[in-house]
């Protein structure tokens, strides 16, 4: 399978197009990761809230345990401290929820910023590359098949006339020479088709 043309001009264009596609994909991924990091910075307050809530809950829980040792009123003192500790745990949970939401938003934003541009680049670039690879494979098979040069010559005759003007015109014209099976004309015409496809004659 031939991935790149054999003629320098077309090969250079293909390589340039491939590099541009890869650079665009890399830029999209880099930008998406940067946006992801920026959004994740919004989770920092959530981390602080979670940490503060956990610390508060732990401190109040310890205070409740200590208060429970006070004779006669220990259980009475422990109950409100336990409730306050539960509230601290609720604050910590809220901080964790905020982090989860920010993480999901960051992930979805990064995913969208990667998928959309990459899909756009691939839809523009990949079909052209695949089409050329398939067409060049078909033309090479024709070139190597018996009578394939005749078909390639016919293709040159029915294509754009620009390159035909550069060929020396035999008596009766190129089409007549092709019909007569003039090997030199057929070779020249098939060479035009191969060159158009980016293949060496």
pLDDT in tens, 115-165: 999 999 999 999 999 999 999 998 888 888 888 888 888 888 888 887 777
Q: What is the pTM of this model?
A: 0.72
pLDDT tens per residue, range 68-83: 667 766 667 667 767 7
Instruction: Classify burial at 154, counting beta carbons within 10 Å of its beta carbon; exposed 0-12, middle 13-18, buried 19 or more.
Output: middle
**pLDDT value of position 156:** 85
CA distances from 170 to 135, 141, 159, 194 (A): 30, 28, 19, 21
Residues 102 and 151 in one domain: no
Residue 87 shares a structural domain with residue 157:
no
What pLDDT sits at residue 81? Answer: 67
- Tell me, yes or no, whether 156 and 197 share the same domain: yes
Average pLDDT, the chain: 85
Number of domains in the chain: 2
Residues 189 and 111 in one domain: no
Whether 56 and 39 map to the same domain: the answer is yes
Q: What pLDDT is attached to residue 87? A: 74
Exposure string for 89-102, b = 16+ CB within 10 A, e = fewer: bebbeebbebbeeb
Is the domain of 95 the same as that of 189? no
**pLDDT for 165-178, tens place per residue?**
778 878 888 888 88
DSSP conformational letter for 170: P
Q: Which range of residues forms the domain containing residue 169?
A: 145-201
Give the pLDDT score at 160: 82
**DSSP conformation class of 43:** G
Same domain, 112 and 27: yes
38 versus 43: which is more confidently predicted? 38
From first CA to last CA, the distance across the chain in angstroms is 17
Distance CA 106, CA 41 (A): 10
Asked if residue 112 and residue 55 are part of one domain, the reply reads yes
CA angle 32, 33, 35 (to 5 degrees): 65
Q: What pLDDT does 149 receive?
A: 87
- In the chain, % helix, strand, coil (3-state, to 5) comes to 85, 0, 15
34 and 133 share one domain: yes
C-alpha 164/C-alpha 171 separation (Å) is: 15
Quick check: 196 and 143 in contact, CB under 8 A? no
Q: How far is CA 74 from CA 56, 63, 69, 79, 88, in A?
A: 20, 11, 5, 9, 21
| pLDDT reported for residue 180 | 85
């Amino acid at each position: 399978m031939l991935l790149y043309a054999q003629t320098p001009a077309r090969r250079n264009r293909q390589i340039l197009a491939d590099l541009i596609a890869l650079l665009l994909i890399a830029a999209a991924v880099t930008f998406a990761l940067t946006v992801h990091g920026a959004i994740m910075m919004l989770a920092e307050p959530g981390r602080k809230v979670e940490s503060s809530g956990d610390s508060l809950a732990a401190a109040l829980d310890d205070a409740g345990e200590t208060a429970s040792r006070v004779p006669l009123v220990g259980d009475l003192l422990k109950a409100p401290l336990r409730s306050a500790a539960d509230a601290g745990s609720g604050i910590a949970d809220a901080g964790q929820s905020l982090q989860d939401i920010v993480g999901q938003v960051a992930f979805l934003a990064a995913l969208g910023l990667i998928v959309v541009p990459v899909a756009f680049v691939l839809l523009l670039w990949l079909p052209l590359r695949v089409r050329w690879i398939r067409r060049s494979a078909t033309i090479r098979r024709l070139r190597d098949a018996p009578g394939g040069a005749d078909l390639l010559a016919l293709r040159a005759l029915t294509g754009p006339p620009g390159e035909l003007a550069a060929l020396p015109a035999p008596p009766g014209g190129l089409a007549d020479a092709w019909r007569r099976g003039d090997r030199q004309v057929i070779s020249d015409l098939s060479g035009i088709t191969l060159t158009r496809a980016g293949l060496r004659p």
